[in-house]
Chains A and B, each alone.
Chain A
Amino acid sequence: MQDNRKERYKTVAYYPGCALEGTGQPYDISTRAVGKKLGLKLEEVKDWNCCGAMEVKNIDLEVQTYLSSRVMSQAVHKNKAEVVMAPCNGCYHNLKKAEYDLSHKEKSKATVEKISAKAGHEAYHPGEIETIHALDWIKFGYGEEELKAKIKGGLKGLKVANYYGCMYTRPRHIFPEKGHGGDSESFKDPHYMDDLLAIAGAENVEFPLKTACCGGAHTLSDSDMSTKLVLNILEAAEAAGAEVIATECPTCHSGLEMHQIRALKKLSKDTKVKVVYFTQLLGLAMGLSPRKVGLHANVSQSIPLLKAKGIA
């Protein structure tokens, strides 16, 4: 599996999930644009449904597993895909978790089979598809060497803090491929986004809160805690000298944008660091226009900074 990733990831089933259709639109726009530029093909999962996000599990664990398993079943049976790519950490996490639970828990397996039968579609069986994140897709589907050749303008002189959030690496038992050294992703100190943006010319800063939680689960129901957690991240990024924070999750991204504003309003804490999707930065580095990567649709207004640096 590891060896022919380049071939396997060339065309993948794309699972945008609800967030990329909603507040995470700039992520969707830039992911599609970057894919197009690199000649990587995305085929949207046919008639997909919500993965359950962070909420459904609290009402019923098995329902969450069913929802995620249906997405994979659709990709296998309707798209005939071998790989499904989810750019949202929540979706990615849930698909991986469903994969784990279906191969480790009898109850999950039985429930998913029962509900799938009643819903009138094939149940998903673990091992039928490989779930990857947008970071895997670009890093291995296109290849780092090839990316170097493709980078036009570059992100030269831009200081970036790479922020991965909590769901990309935790809990580690659902990511069996992580933490094996070599070119595998680390669950303690993830580096795929750092690798890609370094190729694009960015100066990655030492950022200690890479996998800290932004409080996204309670962004509205416990706003004070979320604001505090976001502020920790923003301040750590600034202390590390970052001008922008690169994100790879729509929930983290919206959380950072929202609570940056809230921190200013409620706590008079003004942080200047801009929040940008890593796909937006990659797109710009490859010569795509700010509009093509959806930069104008971000809440965090990074265009003036990027213009001044000659990047946008």
Chain B
Amino acid sequence: MPIHEKSLIRPENLSTHDNLVIDGVDVSGDFSTFIRSRVVTDYNEDLQDEIAAMPGGEYIHRCWQCGSCTNSCTVNAENPDFNPRYWIYLIRMGMESELLRDKDIIWQCVSCNKCTSACPRDVVPEGVMKATAHWLEMKGHTPKSNSLIFDEIFTDQVVEYGRIEDGRVLMEFMKKTDQPLLQDWLVDLVKKLVSGLPLKALSKMGWSTLFHPKTSDWSKARDALREHIAEEKAKQHAALGMDPAE
């Protein structure tokens, strides 16, 4: 395993001394900025198993840390702190508190699957990113991300009707995430849509809620899917040591 490459020289790990003499030598100032010694004792031995129990995380154990995922990653190119290989390493080592330092950006994976295509060990890092984001939310480390809220609204509608309608998903998402529907760029977008084809454009964006696409004969599938999702959720809760009924 490669060495945990992030520096431990962080503000909270430093102790600065103005007047420090050791063996007759004054080592004050910048030179004598010491890093507090640290023995890792706060690891969570179950971390890898917990992530593996979330959808997408099941192959994390295969990772051999080659770095191909991070090297190819779309989000990493925009933000070097977004580092799938590093997070997989921390999870496999059980270094939960280190992982939590990056908890607010892990959900940003755009599912482009470059990592999954590049990975020589079939880890499906894209799935691991989603699994980790889920884990963070289920454990209460992060509030539900907008991304997860979107996934939930979308999935609920598919399970309910068999199909979705873009406008309805959009409106419910904006409502649930407290975002104004009338953001300037959205308004501009709608104006352009409307200028092209007034009535059709309006109804297709779902500003009228008359159009509800449905798959007929869906009720039995709906029940079966609900039952399956509930069973899986209970299993995930159990794997995280939480009350399955939560």
Chain A residues within CB distance 8 Å of chain B: 18-19, 21-23, 25, 47-50, 52-63, 66-67, 70, 111, 114-115, 118-120, 166-167, 170-173, 187, 212-213, 215-218, 220-222, 225-226, 228-229, 257-258, 261-262, 265-266, 296-299, 301
Contact = CB atoms under 8 A, between A and B. Distances in A.
B163 A50 contact: yes
Given A50-B164, A66-B225, A166-B114, A225 B78 contact: yes
Given A18-B165, A25-B200, A55-B150, 17 more contacts: A21-B163, A22-B206, A23-B204, A47-B217, A53-B154, A59-B155, A61-B56, A63-B155, A114-B228, A118-B223, A167-B113, A187-B117, A221-B146, A228-B78, A229-B74, A257-B189, A265-B184
Given A22-B166, A58-B55, A261-B189, A218 B108 contact: yes
Given A58-B56, A167-B113, A229-B110, A22 B204 contact: yes
Interface residues of B, number: 69
Quick one: which of B126, B173, B197 has the most chain A CB within 10 A?
Answer: B197
Contact of A56 (B146, B154, B189): B154
A23 B217 CA distance: 25
B108 A261 contact: no
Contacts of B55: 57-61
Contacts of A172: 117
Given A50-B162, A118-B223, A18 B213 contact: yes
B110 A215 contact: yes
B197 to A, nearest CB: 5
A228 B82 CA distance: 15
Nearest to B157: A50
Contacts of A258: 185, 189
B69 to A, nearest CB: 11
A281 to B, nearest CB: 18
A221 B117 contact: no
A225 B108 contact: yes
Contacts of B92: none
Contacts of B145: 221
Contacts of B150: 55, 220-221
Contacts of B173: 220-221
A171 B117 contact: yes
Contacts of B134: 58
A56 B188 CA distance: 30
Contacts of B220: 118-120
Interface in B107-163: 108-114, 116-117, 122, 124, 126-127, 130, 134, 145-152, 154-155, 158-159, 162-163
B213 A118 contact: no
A23 B225 CA distance: 27
B196 interface: yes
Nearest to B179: A220
Q: Which 8 A-B pairs have the closest CB atoms?
A: A213-B112, A118-B224, A221-B146, A119-B221, A22-B166, A55-B154, A49-B162, A170-B113
A18 B110 contact: no
A56 B55 CA distance: 10
